[in-house]
């Protein structure tokens, strides 16, 4: 078996890392293809270095752009790269434009593409990610669903690919790095609050809307526990454009910092009192026993419903009074995080994914479902 592993953004690097290590462990040849959707050091390089990943075999330099521009550029370069090297299997992870480009270009060029983290659905068509997930799931040959619920979503849509339930590789990553993070991270030395909550926000449907962005800043300003906020570059740019950056920087309740590496972020998640976020991956990580945090999801919907069912996540919307009512209630009740195991698995998602891939290669050859 030879594998092309495609990634392009921060969460894909983190969640693909366990898959890459599993391929290395089993001496399965692979090529690592980085689309370059994320290119800043603190969104990309730092994760290769910290996680101990090999350098990508190729960097496609796609960069930023409109939805179509970014997806189309990535498709063209991915198609060329796959045809030049002819892997037996292509793997994509998650719901970014890189994923849609990899799934579509790979499948149409005749490769069997596996979608890691398949079957998530927010049913919110304002999200570019909802299109990416749905479309990727319908062209991929192998669908690695984190949970039975995700697999059920895929069955309901009658996808053509083969479905496997594996858990989420983010739990593998958390388990692998949480101890190392503790010994290596010095982030707490620079945090000015003895007790803090951790905040991130970057979803397009939130931060690109200046009214929602303003609401978020009001929520952070009024948070009963002071806020540590690693700002995504998309959001930093929008805060500057709407003249809110200076105000936030001067707030005594908010400490703005640049995006941090995985060791620092794991440390911040472990030490914070609760999390406010619109991130997808952070909702999952909060359920890992080593993190176990309450997450207030600053969105109207979530595709991570399992985290809501386990009691870790609460979808609170974006309206300040409503969000703060939920947070204040949690704080007044003593900020007790749920002590249940993660619905996203035990940390063996990468092992299961590669086991399934190997048996598929052995059993069916490459021409199953017309994919070759």
Among 39, 48, 59, 193, binds ligand UD1 (CB under 6 A): 39
- Give the phi and the psi of residue 64 in degrees, each rounded to 5: -90, 165
CB of 235 to ligand UD1, least distance (A): 8
CB of 257 to ligand UD1, least distance (A): 16
CB of 241 to ligand UDP, least distance (A): 20
Residues that bind ligand UDP (CB under 6 A): 10-11, 14, 170, 200, 202, 230, 259-262, 265, 279-282, 285
Number of H helices, E strands in the chain: 16, 13
* 123/305 Cα distance (integer angstroms): 12
Identified catalytic residue from 34, 115, 202, 356: 202
3-state secondary structure of 316: coil
Q: In what order do the strands lie in the sheet with 162-165?
A: 58-59, 30-34, 3-7, 89-93, 112-116, 142-145, 162-165
- Give the phi and the psi of residue 274 in degrees, each rounded to 5: -160, 170
Instruction: Name the residue nearer to ligand UDP (CB basis): 62 or 112.
Output: 62
- Regarding 234 and contact with ligand UD1 (CB under 6 A), the answer is yes
* 212/300 Cα distance (integer angstroms): 12
* 183/120 Cα distance (integer angstroms): 34
Residue corresponding to tokens 């929602």: 212
Applying CB under 6 A, what is the total number of residues that bind ligand UD1? Answer: 19
216 binds, options ligand UDP, ligand UD1, none, Cβ within 5 to 8 A by partner type = none
CB of 228 to ligand UD1, least distance (A): 18
Q: Give residues 49-78 in contact with ligand UD1 (rule: CB under 6 A).
A: 64, 70
Within 10 angstroms of residue 98's Cβ, the number of other Cβ atoms is 30
CB of 174 to ligand UDP, least distance (A): 8
Among 56, 119, 128, 343, binds ligand UD1 (CB under 6 A): 128
For 109, how many CA atoms within 13 A lie in the half-sphere containing its CB? 24
- Regarding 237 and contact with ligand UD1 (CB under 6 A), the answer is yes
Cα dist. 149→6, 201, 228 in Å?
A: 25, 26, 33
CB of 1 to ligand UDP, least distance (A): 27
Q: Give residues 172-231 in contact with ligand UD1 (rule: CB under 6 A).
A: 202
Q: Give residues 83-122 in contact with ligand UD1 (rule: CB under 6 A).
A: 95-97
- Regarding 9 and contact with ligand UD1 (CB under 6 A), the answer is yes
Within 10 angstroms of residue 45's Cβ, the number of other Cβ atoms is 15
Within 10 angstroms of residue 183's Cβ, the number of other Cβ atoms is 7
Would you call 202 a catalytic residue per the annotation?
yes
The two tokens of residue 351 are 């092992």
Instruction: Name the residue nearer to ligand UD1 (CB basis): 22 or 129.
Output: 129
- Regarding 131 and contact with ligand UD1 (CB under 6 A), the answer is no
Instruction: Name the residue nearer to ligand UD1 (CB basis): 97 or 122.
Output: 97
* 32/76 Cα distance (integer angstroms): 17
Please identify every residue annotated as catalytic. 202
Residues that bind ligand UD1 (CB under 6 A): 9-11, 37-40, 43, 64, 70, 95-97, 128-129, 202, 233-234, 237
């Amino acid at each position: 078996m030879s594998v092309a592993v495609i990634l392009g953004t921060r969460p894909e690097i983190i969640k693909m890392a366990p898959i890459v290590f599993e391929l290395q462990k089993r001496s399965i040849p692979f090529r690592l293809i980085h689309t370059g959707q994320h290119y800043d050091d603190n969104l990309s390089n730092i994760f290769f270095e910290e996680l101990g990943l090999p350098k990508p075999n190729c960097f496609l330099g796609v960069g930023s752009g409109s939805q179509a521009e970014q997806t189309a550029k990535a498709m063209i370069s991915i198609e060329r790269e796959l045809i030049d090297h002819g892997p037996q299997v292509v793997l994509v992870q998650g719901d970014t434009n890189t994923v849609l480009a990899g799934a579509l270009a790979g499948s149409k060029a005749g490769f069997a593409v596996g979608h890691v983290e398949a079957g998530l659905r927010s049913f919110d068509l304002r999200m570019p990610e909802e299109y990416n997930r749905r479309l990727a799931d319908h062209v991929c040959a192998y669908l690695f669903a984190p949970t039975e619920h995700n697999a059920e979503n895929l069955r309901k849509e009658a996808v053509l690919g083969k479905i496997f339930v594996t858990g989420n590789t983010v739990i593998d990553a958390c388990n692998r790095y949480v101890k190392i993070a503790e010994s290596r991270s010095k982030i707490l030395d620079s945090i000015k609050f003895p007790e803090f909550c951790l905040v991130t926000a970057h979803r397009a449907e939130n931060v690109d809307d200046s009214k929602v962005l303003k609401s978020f800043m009001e929520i952070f300003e009024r948070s009963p526990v002071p806020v540590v906020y690693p700002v995504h570059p998309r959001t930093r740019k929008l805060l500057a454009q709407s003249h809110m950056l200076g105000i936030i920087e001067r707030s005594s309740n908010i400490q703005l910092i640049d995006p941090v590496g995985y060791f620092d972020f794991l440390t911040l998640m472990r030490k914070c009192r609760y999390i406010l976020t619109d991130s997808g991956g952070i909702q999952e990580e909060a359920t890992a026993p080593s993190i176990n945090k309450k997450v207030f999801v600053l969105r109207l919907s979530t595709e991570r419903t399992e985290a809501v069912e386990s009691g870790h996540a609460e979808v609170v919307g974006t309206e300040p009074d409503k969000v703060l009512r939920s947070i204040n209630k949690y704080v007044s009740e003593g900020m007790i995080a749920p002590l249940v195991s993660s619905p996203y698995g035990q940390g063996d998602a990468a092992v299961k994914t590669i086991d399934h891939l190997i048996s598929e290669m052995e059993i069916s050859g490459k021409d199953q479902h017309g994919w070759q």
